[in-house]
A = this chain, B = another copy of it.
Amino acid sequence: MPKIFRKRSEKVGLPPGTLVHIGERKAEKQRITIIDYDETQFQERELETIEESFPFKDTSTITWINIDGLHQLEIIEKIGKHFNIHALVLEDIANTEQRPKMEDFDDYLFLILKMICFEEKDKRIKVEQVGLILGSNFVISFREEKGNVFDPVRQRIISKKGRIRKKGADYLAYALIDVIVDSYFLILERIGDQIEDLEEDLMDGPRQETMQAIHSLKRELLQFRKSVWPLQEMISKLEKGESEMFNESTQIYLKDVHDHTIHVIDTIEIFHDMLSGLLDLYISSVSNKMNEIMKVLTIIATIFIPLTFIAGVYGMNFKYMPILEWRYGYPMVLLVMLIIGVGMIIYTRKREWF
């Protein structure tokens, strides 16, 4: 199962602002891409060095720098120096064990979000940290590894679909937040489907695997909730205009995203309650199964143990057992046994055992 909690021991005692990469260190090189656009122009490039992106800072166009991979700390440091980013922010970008949060500085806004995706090969949820820096005309996004979550936004910029080319950098930041939140719904759908499968499974009868499936779904929801709750608080603050980096015309879009996060949270709570319900159902069906088994055992034992005793009595080897000599002894005993057996069956039936 996935680690709920990644090691950050190496950080203990270091002075604040020290860059340490917390997370799974990837061997591959980091990828830096840049998209620069305004209503009329557009260019997209993959950069070799981060320095290539610096000239774009001072143009009037909107610049989106995307960095995939956080283990090369010098890139983060260089960005920090060039864009004048606070040391604590750089530290938070490198340390992927952060709660989602926003921090508002005078000339830029720093956001941490969590991307959640389902890994087909491990059949488990993976949480990835995304750092966003929103300046007046640029957005810098940091991701732990390559992925395609931001592709729809890129497509919209390229194809001029929607308003994105007409709006500012804040709208771009909004669009990135929006696709991340949208991707949560995919995970919810999958979890919802799994819950319904479990429900049908339970109708057939309890199985130990069902229990473990309930357990790991619960765990995934815990992890999910951990990422979404602080996100909701953060977007709520943004939506209420706490940061001046977002124009008023963009705030109505943030309100929309905020509604989505609340919807996600509601659904997580409902799923959580449904899983508790399934647990109750599971436990009750286990104990029903047990009851059923016990009934069979008891019926069999109740009928045959007394009969076996009777047979045992007439199997004793006493010399003087007059009934043994009686011609109708055997049939009489069989008859008595039959009566007792039928009586026991009637008794158990009356008690509604089967």
Contact = CB atoms under 8 A, between A and B. Distances in A.
Interface of A: 1, 3-5, 7-9, 11-18, 86, 88, 97-99, 101, 103, 151-153, 155-156, 161-164, 175, 178-179, 182-183, 185-186, 188-189, 192, 195-196, 199, 203, 205, 208, 211-212, 215, 218-219, 222-223, 226, 252-253, 255-256, 259, 262-263, 266-267, 270-271, 273-274, 277, 279-298, 300-302, 304-309, 311-321, 324-330, 333-334, 337, 351-353
Residue from A9, A266, A313, A327 whose CB has the most chain B CB atoms within 10 Å = A313
B306 A300 contact: yes
13 contacts: A1-B196, A5-B189, A9-B186, A203-B212, A291-B293, A296-B298, A296-B351, A297-B298, A297-B302, A309-B311, A311-B313, A315-B315, A316-B317
Contact of A316 (B255, B293, B305, B315): B315
A302 B300 contact: yes
Given A5-B189, A192-B4, A333 B304 contact: no
Contacts of A88: 252-253, 256
Copies per complex of this chain: 5
Given A18-B162, A192-B3, A308 B298 contact: no
Contact of A98 (B182, B212, B255, B259): B259
Contacts of A211: 281, 284-285, 288
Nearest to A184: B12
Contacts of A288: 208, 211, 286
Contacts of A327: 319-320
Given A266-B99, A291-B289, A305 B302 contact: no
A197 to B, nearest CB: 12
Contact of A99 (B179, B263, B314): B263
Contacts of A279: 280, 284
A contact face: mostly helix, strand, loop, or mixed: helix
Contacts of A218: 273, 277
A305 B60 CA distance: 91
Contacts of A1: 196, 199
B13 A179 contact: yes
A162 B270 contact: no
A27 to B, nearest CB: 25
Given A290-B291, A293-B295, 6 more contacts: A5-B189, A15-B156, A212-B281, A291-B293, A305-B308, A311-B312
Given A308-B305, A315-B312, A315-B315, A162 B15 contact: yes
B298 A189 contact: no
